């Protein structure tokens, strides 16, 4: 059926400025790492994207390797984009990344200029786009000089294939160096994409300060620890959950749903209910409470999760007492 977006889509979403840039991002962005590949149902993917856009989510995050198979999330996104979103291209921020293994031989992985330039060309073809809004280096490369990787990002902006660039999973010191090189090149780093959740708090030890002082935005990924920080695993592992579906490609598997984790989740769930939220909403709110966070990057397996998660925006302030209780549980 022909897609006509909700006319009031901008009424309930909050948009936050990304660092010192001119760009604003929705407080909630949608990632296509899982549930958008060739192994998944295209109609479900389409319904998720439509509902997200209808809810004011203007940012869709992809990468060359999303699927499985690698590349297929970009292909499926390209199909849906062509059918539904072409008229709305200027209302969308679409990102992609390169940094993980994509093709055989020495030029299909990590951070060389050769790899990044070829990979973005492939991504643009798969998605049927002329340019991406944000192109990321997906993970630091210990062997390629940082200057080469950053020069490749700068080149892609100058070629008009990306409007902005970002880095992902860089530690504070290497992030500071990358940000400084990009600044010298005249293509400021827009954003950093780190893993951050109640269960994974490394960004609090320096990275958020680096981003704050250099005016770079921050968009945390896996904010629900891939679904652990929801109420879904309290009574075992549901068959249709990510932990049971053996998707590979870095997804959680059953042994990560440990009794110790579930115990903490149970206690967090009680706190969330006392705040009038469910645990997924509290876990997202807990990230958005920090003004240094531009947007929180969620993943969903079905449209209802978009509607559910977005309700975190109804309350993302925490009392000190609540924060202390959360810290005590997470210790």
Ligand X SMILES: NC(=O)c1ccc[n+]([C@@H]2O[C@H](COP(=O)([O-])OP(=O)(O)OC[C@H]3O[C@@H](n4cnc5c(N)ncnc54)[C@H](OP(=O)(O)O)[C@@H]3O)[C@@H](O)[C@H]2O)c1
CA–CA gap between residue 291 and residue 96 (Å, rounded): 25
Residue 3, class by beta-carbon neighbours within 10 Å (0-12 exposed, 13-18 middle, 19+ buried)?
Answer: middle
Q: Taking CB under 6 A as the rule, does residue 298 contact ligand X?
A: yes
Q: How far is the CB of 254 from ligand X (least distance, A)?
A: 12
Binding mask 186-215 vs ligand X (x if CB under 6 A, - otherwise)?
Answer: -------x----------------------
Q: How far is the CB of 209 from ligand X (least distance, A)?
A: 20
Among 55, 65, 214, 222, binds ligand X (CB under 6 A): 222
Q: Taking CB under 6 A as the rule, does residue 223 contact ligand X?
A: yes
Asked whether 241 and 227 are in contact (CB, 8 A), the reply is: yes
Among 152, 218, 225, 272, binds ligand X (CB under 6 A): 225
CA–CA gap between residue 233 and residue 53 (Å, rounded): 29
Among 27, 45, 203, 224, binds ligand X (CB under 6 A): 224
Among 23, 25, 32, 265, binds ligand X (CB under 6 A): 32
Among 96, 214, 241, 295, binds ligand X (CB under 6 A): 241
Q: How far is the CB of 260 from ligand X (least distance, A)?
A: 19
For ligand X, give the closer residue by CB, 18 or 224: 224
Q: Which residues contact 152 (CB under 8 A, 6 or more apart)?
A: 111, 112, 113, 116, 117
Query: Interaction with ligand X in 250-269: which residues (CB under 6 A)?
Result: none
Q: Taking CB under 6 A as the rule, does residue 226 contact ligand X?
A: yes
Q: Mark the segment that binds ligand X (CB under 6 A) among 7-15, 159-167, 253-261, 292-300.
A: 292-300
Asked whether 286 and 198 are in contact (CB, 8 A), the reply is: yes
Cis status, amide bond into 68, omega within 30 of 0:
yes
CA–CA gap between residue 210 and residue 207 (Å, rounded): 5
Among 19, 31, 56, 166, binds ligand X (CB under 6 A): 31
Instruction: Locate 260 and state its tokens.
Output: 């110790």
Asked whether 64 and 70 are in contact (CB, 8 A), the reply is: yes
Distances (CA, A) of 167 to 152, 170, 212, 288, 326: 12, 7, 15, 20, 29
Q: How far is the CB of 240 from ligand X (least distance, A)?
A: 7
Q: Taking CB under 6 A as the rule, does residue 300 contact ligand X?
A: yes
For ligand X, give the closer residue by CB, 150 or 257: 257
Count the neighbouring beta carbons within 10 Å of the beta carbon of residue 125.
13
Query: Interaction with ligand X in 33-72: which residues (CB under 6 A)?
Result: 33-34, 61
Query: Interaction with ligand X in 151-170: which residues (CB under 6 A)?
Result: 168-169
For ligand X, give the closer residue by CB, 209 or 308: 308
Q: How far is the CB of 170 from ligand X (least distance, A)?
A: 10
Instruction: Locate 323 and state its tokens.
Output: 């924060």
Among 5, 301, 325, 329, binds ligand X (CB under 6 A): 301
DSSP string, 104-144: SSTTSSTT-HHHHHHHHHHHHHHHT-S-EEEEEE-S--SSS
For ligand X, give the closer residue by CB, 56 or 223: 223
Distances (CA, A) of 232 to 57, 229, 239, 266: 24, 8, 11, 10
The footprint of ligand X (CB under 6 A) covers 31-34, 61, 138, 168-169, 193, 221-227, 230, 232, 241-242, 280, 297-301, 305, 308-309
């Amino acid at each position: 059926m022909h897609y006509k977006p909700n006319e009031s889509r901008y009424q309930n979403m909050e948009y936050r400025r990304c660092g010192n840039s001119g760009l604003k991002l929705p407080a909630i962005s949608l990632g296509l790492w899982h549930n958008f590949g060739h192994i998944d149902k295209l109609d479900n993917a389409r319904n998720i994207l439509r509902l997200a856009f209808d809810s004011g989510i203007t940012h869709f995050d992809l990468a060359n390797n999303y699927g499985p198979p690698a590349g297929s999330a970009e292909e499926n996104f390209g199909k849906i984009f062509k059918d539904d979103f072409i008229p709305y291209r200027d209302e969308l921020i679409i990102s992609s990344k390169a940094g993980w293994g994509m093709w055989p031989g020495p030029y299909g992985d990590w951070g060389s200029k050769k790899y990044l330039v070829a990979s973005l060309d492939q991504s643009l073809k798969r998605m049927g786009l002329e340019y991406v809004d944000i192109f990321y280096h997906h993970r630091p490369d210990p062997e390629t000089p940082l200057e080469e990787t950053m020069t490749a990002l700068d080149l892609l902006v100058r070629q008009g294939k990306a409007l902005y660039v970002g880095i992902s999973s860089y530690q504070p010191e290497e992030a500071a160096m990358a940000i400084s090189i990009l600044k010298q090149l005249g293509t400021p780093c827009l954003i950093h994409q780190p893993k951050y959740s109640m269960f994974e708090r490394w960004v609090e030890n320096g990275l958020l300060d680096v981003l704050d002082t250099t005016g770079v935005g921050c968009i945390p990924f896996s904010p629900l620890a891939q679904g652990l920080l929801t109420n879904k695993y309290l009574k075992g592992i549901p068959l249709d959950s990510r932990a049971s579906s053996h998707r590979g490609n870095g997804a959680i598997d059953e042994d990560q749903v440990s009794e110790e984790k579930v115990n903490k989740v149970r206690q967090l769930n009680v706190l969330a209910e006392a705040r009038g939220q469910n645990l997924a909403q509290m876990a997202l709110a807990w990230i958005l409470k920090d003004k240094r966070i531009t947007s929180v990057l969620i993943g969903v397996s079905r449209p209802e999760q978009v509607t559910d998660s977005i309700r975190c925006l109804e309350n993302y302030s925490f009392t000190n007492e609540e924060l202390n209780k959360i810290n005590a549980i997470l210790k």
